[in-house]
């Protein structure tokens, strides 16, 4: 699996299918969590899955960007009271190593009104089309 596929499968297992068995296969035991509200390790993440399912949380993935073994995702969580608000826009970065998700950073924010140019926190292009211009 590519890093992108691995992260998409892990996020789907945790937040869409609520499948702890599948998630366990994709997370390293020593999974490092940088969110101060979530303990580090795979076990705490797996332990949250039943509560996430019960909460009715819904996840929309807007963009996924991969650079080597780092995968960034831009997301919106609905029914996200478990994380502090009904709706949150998220930016997650995952590090993959040896076929497992080994590390995670995130930032979650209540959606704001469109900016002065009229753009929301999630609109815009969802695919990179100018890959030949990257360094």
In a 13 Å sphere around the CA of 122, the CA atoms on its Cβ side amount to 20
Q: Which residues of the chain form beta strands (DSSP E)?
A: 27-33, 58-67, 70-78, 87-97, 100-109
* Euclidean distance between CA atoms 46 and 82, whole angstroms: 15
Torsion 75-76-77-83 (CA) sign: positive
Range 3-113 classified under CATH 3.40.50.720 = no
One digit per residue, pLDDT tens: the chain, 135 residues? 999 999 999 999 999 999 999 999 999 999 999 988 889 999 999 999 999 999 999 999 999 999 999 999 999 999 999 889 999 999 999 999 999 999 999 999 998 888 888 876 777 666 666 656 655
Distance (Å, whole) CA 102 – CA 8: 14
Q: Which pTM value belongs to this model?
A: 0.87
What does the pLDDT read at residue 69? Answer: 97
Domain ranges of the chain: 3-113
């Amino acid at each position: 699996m590519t890093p992108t596929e691995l992260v998409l499968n892990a996020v789907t297992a945790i937040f869409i299918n609520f499948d702890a068995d599948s998630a366990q296969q994709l997370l390293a035991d020593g999974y490092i969590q940088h969110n101060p509200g979530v303990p580090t390790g795979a076990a705490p993440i797996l332990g949250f899955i039943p509560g996430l399912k019960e909460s009715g949380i819904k996840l929309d993935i807007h963009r996924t960007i991969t650079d080597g073994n780092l995968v960034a995702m831009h997301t919106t969580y609905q029914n996200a009271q478990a994380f502090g608000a009904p709706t949150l826009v998220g930016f997650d970065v995952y590090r993959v190593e040896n076929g497992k998700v080994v590390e995670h950073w995130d930032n979650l924010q209540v959606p704001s009104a469109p900016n002065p140019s009229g753009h929301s926190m999630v609109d815009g292009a969802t695919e990179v089309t100018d890959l030949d211009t990257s360094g």
